[in-house]
Amino acid sequence: MNKTELVDHIAQHADLSKAAAQRALEALIGSVSATLKKGGTVTLVGFGTFAVGKRTARTGRNPRTGAAIKIKAAKISKFRPGKALKDALN
């Protein structure tokens, strides 16, 4: 499912116009992004938790040449599914 299909699904099931569903989805994505950027977590009970993780600096290999390269440390987003989502999938 891509973003357009998700907007259509939200519009249909929440009885909203596609424009309103688009704005709602953009607001959700913006809120989650802003919170993660500040280092916080977003917990949606029953769905899951978005959090920020840290990836340490490490040495990698260039696949073409085999030369060692340095990969710098980075912050990454993580998602842990909630119990209800896990149960729905199994």
pTM score:
0.79
Report the distance separating Cα 80 and Cα 41, nearest Å: 11
pLDDT of residue 2: 96
Residues 55 and 85 in one domain: yes
Both tokens of 47, joined, read 């769905």
Residues 34 and 58 in one domain: no
The number of domains in the chain is: 2
The CATH number of whichever domain residue 75 belongs to comes to: 4.10.520.10
pLDDT of residue 26: 96
pLDDT of residue 29: 96
The DSSP call for residue 16 is: -
Could you read off the pLDDT of 32-80 as tens digits, one per residue?
A: 999 999 999 999 999 999 999 999 999 999 999 999 999 999 999 999 9
Residues 46 and 81 in one domain: yes
Residues 45 and 34 in one domain: no
Range of the domain at 13: 1-38
